[in-house]
Amino acid sequence: MLKEAWMLAIETLSWMEMRKLSERLALSKTVKQLGVNDADAVRLAHMLSLETIRRRNFIDTFINKTLKPQTINEFNLGIQAFLRLYVYQTRIAKNWSKIDIKEAQNVAKIARSILGWKTLRKVEPVLGFLLTQKPHVIYEGLSDEERIGLQTFHPTWFVKYCFKLFGRREAIAFLEGNMRSPPTYIRLNTLRAGESEILEKITKDAIRVKKVEELKYAYRVVSTEKPLTRTLSFREGLFYIQDKASCFAAEAANPESGMTVLDVCAAPAAKTTYLAQLMHNSGHIYSIDYSKRRMDIWKNEVAHLNVEIATPVIADACHSPPLKIEADIAVLDPPCTSTGAFGKLPSAKWRLTRRSVDKMAEIQWQMLTSVAEAIKPEGTLVYSTCSVTVEENEMLIERFLKWHANFSLAGIMPNMGLPGLRGLEKCQRLYPHVHECNGFFIAKLVNEKLA
């Protein structure tokens, strides 16, 4: 099992580096590629990959200090992945305090069998130094932002951005919140059964949960004896694994039975299925996404959760919707930099630059203005992202309101977040270190144009 887990982890990190894939996609591709069926090996590989990539800047700096004058990037992807995983498992997982030589030797033996002894021979002499090197050496001669970046595992440019946006003290609290994966939340699916019946069934599945008081059907998972996706209640469609921030966006839209709703960037169906649930499967939802692959997932989820009122539409949301409808509600959750979800998606940190924020904001602007065309008079447009940058959020809403005088901000219920920045207090923000979920922004806009 251990060899399979390390083989999966090395290959997963290699795919992430080569193709810029997310943790989940890279692991899924690797499991399929290598034909691994051992669930324990897959779980261990996921943990190793996730926790290693979370700390990539720290680990690479530590390795480069030891390799000097060489750098980790001079080796092939397999060696790079192994060295990172080796430092995590033998040093960081031990909190730097215990040196387990026997374990280190076993890990090297496993890597030799996976990568080949000739390949590993290039770095074997340095493994002992990595096992004994003191971690504090990496901080010598660094600026404050560089040091905080290494301590909290974030790019220096993002640390500087957060200092400017939140102030140093609050920024560090936010960055430290990103160092951990957020709790797991589920949303009970009342399109399959009543809430009390679902709670009874998930209890039989040994899933312990705690209600999120502000939301209707969201629960925090306290403990579970096996992966949620392998439980009977999950297979029966009785719950959906969904962050509470995502549930918040659907509830803020406040859809009612019989309404016409536009769900933009709908795949993989988290919002569509919750909107349908809140509408009691009465009315109609048009779900738009540009990706056929993602919409295939959407179709499976919609059927699994017993949604009967949703129609899939494959289209580019940057252009006017290819539908002649007037929506009572439109929900837009566009692609974003995911700067609020680094705890859950740590690899995203290393794919971004400061320019990424502005590029993404322009795409979001195109989507926002296109979707606005489909909102009926007195209709509502809900805009949300899992990003904390103002360029993708408040500044975008300010720009939209300037160019669309018929729209105005509305208050959001439930009121479970902090006020928006730049004076947009009707908007709401959620933060990992405050709300124990993904960082999140939401704005609710009403079309006041008379019919």
Which residues are catalytic, by number?
Answer: 386
- Per the CB < 8 A criterion, the answer to whether 287 and 272 are in contact is yes
- Residue-wise DSSP of 72-105: GGGS-HHHHHHHHHHHIIIIITTTTT---HHHHH
Residue 294 CB-density burial (10 A; 0-12 exposed, 13-18 middle, 19+ buried): middle
User: What does R_g of the chain's alpha carbons equal in angstroms?
Assistant: 23
Check residue 176 and give left, alpha or beta (phi > 0: left; psi -120 to 50: alpha).
alpha
Angstrom CA distances, 94 to 90, 167, 325, 414, stand at 6, 33, 58, 42
Residue in this structure with the two tokens 């797991």, named with its chain if needed: 184
Q: Which element (helix H / strand E) includes 441?
A: strand 440-447
Query: Which residues, other chains included, contact 98 with Cβ-Cβ below 8 Å and sequence gap of 6+?
Result: none
Distance CA 441, CA 321 (A): 24
Beta bridge partners of 380: 329, 446
The residue type of 97 is S
- C-alpha–C-alpha distance, residues 289 and 346, integer Å: 24
Find out whether 261 and 331 touch, Cβ atoms under 8 Å. yes
**d(C-alpha 411, C-alpha 273), whole Å:** 24
Q: Which residues contact 115 (CB under 8 A, 6 or more apart)?
A: 10, 78, 79, 82
Q: Find all residues with CB under 8 Å of 271, minimum gap 6, and list them.
A: 246, 249, 250, 263, 331, 333
Q: What are phi and psi for residue 407, nearest 5 degrees?
A: -100, 145
Which DSSP letter does residue 281 get? T
What are 123's two structure tokens?
Answer: 């770095």
Q: Residue 261: beta bridge partners?
A: 285, 329
One-letter amino acid of 392: E
Q: Is 122 exposed, middle or buried (0-12, 13-18, 19+ CB in 10 A)?
A: middle
